[in-house]
Chains A and B, each alone.
Chain A
Amino acid sequence: MSNETTFEPRIVAFLCNWCTYAGADLAGTGRKQYQANVRIIKLPCTGGIDPLFLIKAFERGADGILVSGCHPGDCHYNSGNYHARRRWNVFKPLLEFCGINPDRIQFSWISAAEGGKWVETINSVIDAVRVLGPFEGYQKINAIGPEGPGEGFAPSSDTTGCECK
C-alpha cells in the first residue's frame, strides 16, 4: 500500500471500443501487468470524443489523460479518428497555451492486436504524470469556497486498483 507521501496519479483513459479498448483487453487476457492508476472510459469512437469530456476529467480530479483509438485507416467508422486528429491538433495546443503540461494530455493509436503497446503506453503516461505530480493547479480551482474540495471531488490519496492478478 502506498503511504501518504507517495503520489499516485489518477489517469483517465478514453478508449475507442474497437481498437484500443480491445487492445487493453488483450493485455488483460494475456496476463500482462500494468499500473492500476488508470480508469478506462470506453466510447464507440475517438471521433465521438468531445474535447469537453477531457476538460471534465480534469475538472473532476484527473491528473492526466490518455485518448486512444484505432490507427489511421483502421477506424471502424472509416473516418472518426481522422476527424478526432483534426480536433486534437488545435485542442492540445490550446490547453498548452493555457498552461497545461503536454504530458498531462496524451494521444495514441493502439490497435486491438497491440496489447503490448497498450501496456507500454499507459505505463509511460502514468510515469510521466507521477513525475509531474498532482494537477494541483486544476484541483485548487475545483475547491468551492475556502474550505476545500467541493461536491464531486474525490480525495487524491487513494488509488484503488483492481485486485485480480
Chain B
Amino acid sequence: MIEALRKKAEELLKNKTVSVVFGYGEGSTPERTRPVFITKPEEVNKLTWNKYCVYNLTTYLKRQETRKLGKPAIVVKGCDARTLIVLMKESQIKREDVYILGVSCDGVGDPLAEKCKACDVHTPRIYDDLIGEKGENKELPFDERYAELDEYENLSEKEKWEFWQKQFEKCIKCYACSNICPLCFCDRCIVEKNQPQWIDPSAHARGNLSWNVTRAYHLAGRCINCEECQRVCPVDIPLNLLNKKLAKEAEKNFNYRPGYNIDDELAMSTYNEKDNQDFVR
C-alpha cells in the first residue's frame, strides 16, 4: 500500500495535478507518525501508512500556512473523508480544490481507537484514488454506533453533573481542541470575543462549563467523530462523549449523519416542519 501511495503521490506532483501532498510520515519512534507536506516528487519516500496514522489531516485545509502551499492531494481515511464532505457542504472548499487520496483502513491506534470499534466507513465514501482494497461498507445499526454513550446516559442526574464538573474543572483553556478540529474554522472563535465577553477566558470552572458546552454545541450535526479534539486535550477530557451525544441527537431527530451522504442537507442549517417538539409546551 505504501508503494502505491508513494507512486500516486509522485505522479500527481510530477504532472502538476497538485502542488503538495498532505500525508503521514514516520515519527520519532515507530509508534508515531507525523504529518508531512510533500512538494517535490523526489520526496515521496517520506510518505508512510500504518496503524499509527491517527491524525485527521483535513485540519490543514483551514490553516493559512498550509493553504499557501497550493492545491493539495490529501491522504484520508474513511472517517477523515467525511470531514471533506462537510467542508464542501459548508462551502469551505470546492470539490476541485482537493485531490482526495483515500486509503482503506482497518483501524488505527494502539490500543484501537474508540471510533474504529464502530466504524462503517473503512473504505472512504469519497475519493479520487483509492489506495488499498476496496471493501464493502455496511452501515452499522444506530445503537451499535452510539453504544459508547450508554454507560454515561444511564448515570443519575447528580452523577452526570459531578462527572462532568470533574472533567471540566481540569480544562486549562488551551484551545487545542478547537485548534485541531478541521471543522472549527471560524477566524475568530466566540471564545475570543470580548465585547461582550460571552465566555470567561480564565480557566475557571464557570467559564470552563460554558466553553466546553459551547464548543461541542458548535459542532452539533457537524462533528464527524474523528476524535482528534479528545486526542489532543492535554488534560484528557472525554470531549468525544459530548460530540457523540450531539451526533446521536442529530441523527435521532433529523435522521442525519454528518459527511455521510453527500446529498443530505446540513442538519443545522435547515429544518423540517415536522421536527420533534415533544418537549415544547
A residues at B contact (CB < 8 Å): 51-52, 55-56, 59, 72-73, 79, 82-83, 85-102, 106-109, 121, 137-138, 141-142, 144
Q: A83–B265 Cα gap in the complex (Å)?
A: 14
Which residues 133-168 in B have Cβ within 8 Å of A in the complex?
152-153, 157-165
- Out of A97, A101, A109, A137, name the residue touching B280 (CB < 8 Å): A109
Convert B243-281 into 0s and 1s, putting 1 for each residue whose CB lies closer than 8 angstroms to a CB of A.
Answer: 001100110011000000000000110111101110111
What are 19 contact pairs spanning A and B, CB under 8 A? A51-B217, A52-B210, A85-B277, A85-B280, A86-B268, A90-B246, A90-B250, A93-B246, A94-B213, A94-B217, A97-B153, A97-B242, A98-B161, A99-B157, A99-B158, A100-B161, A142-B206, A144-B204, A144-B206
B153 proximity list for chain A (CB < 8 A): 97
Is the C-beta of B235 less than 8 angstroms from some C-beta in chain A?
Answer: no
* Contact yes or no, B152 A97, CB < 8 A: yes
* Contact yes or no, A56 B213, CB < 8 A: no
Q: A108–B241 Cα gap in the complex (Å)?
A: 29
A121 proximity list for chain B (CB < 8 A): 281
Quick one: given A55-B210, A99-B157, are A72 and B277 in contact (CB under 8 Å)? yes
Is the C-beta of B209 less than 8 angstroms from some C-beta in chain A?
Answer: yes
Q: A107–B279 Cα gap in the complex (Å)?
A: 7
- Out of B157, B214, B281, name the residue touching A106 (CB < 8 Å): B281
* Contact yes or no, A59 B157, CB < 8 A: no
What's the minimum C-beta distance from A154 to chain B, rounded to whole angstroms? 14
What's the minimum C-beta distance from B84 to chain A, rounded to whole angstroms? 23
Q: A40–B217 Cα gap in the complex (Å)?
A: 25
- Out of A56, A94, A98, A141, name the residue touching B249 (CB < 8 Å): A94
What's the minimum C-beta distance from B26 to chain A, rounded to whole angstroms? 39
* Contact yes or no, A94 B165, CB < 8 A: no
Convert B80-100 into 0s and 1s, putting 1 for each residue whose CB lies closer than 8 angstroms to a CB of A.
Answer: 000000000000000000000
Interface of A is mostly: helix
* Contact yes or no, A107 B161, CB < 8 A: no
A56 proximity list for chain B (CB < 8 A): 198, 210
* Contact yes or no, A55 B160, CB < 8 A: no
B217 proximity list for chain A (CB < 8 A): 51, 90-91, 94
* Contact yes or no, A92 B279, CB < 8 A: yes
A86-B267, A108-B280, A121-B281 given. 9 additional CB < 8 A pairs? A51-B214, A72-B273, A86-B254, A93-B246, A99-B162, A99-B163, A141-B209, A142-B206, A144-B204
A92 proximity list for chain B (CB < 8 A): 279
Q: Give the nearest-CB partner of B190 in chain A.
A: A52
* Contact yes or no, B204 A101, CB < 8 A: no
Q: A7–B96 Cα gap in the complex (Å)?
A: 62
Is the C-beta of B216 less than 8 angstroms from some C-beta in chain A?
Answer: yes
Is the C-beta of B205 less than 8 angstroms from some C-beta in chain A?
Answer: yes
Q: A97–B156 Cα gap in the complex (Å)?
A: 10
* Contact yes or no, B210 A85, CB < 8 A: no
* Contact yes or no, B245 A93, CB < 8 A: yes
Is the C-beta of B102 less than 8 angstroms from some C-beta in chain A?
Answer: no
- Out of B161, B242, B253, name the residue touching A89 (CB < 8 Å): B253
Is the C-beta of B41 less than 8 angstroms from some C-beta in chain A?
Answer: no
A91 proximity list for chain B (CB < 8 A): 217, 220
What's the minimum C-beta distance from A143 to chain B, rounded to whole angstroms? 8
What's the minimum C-beta distance from A74 to chain B, rounded to whole angstroms? 12
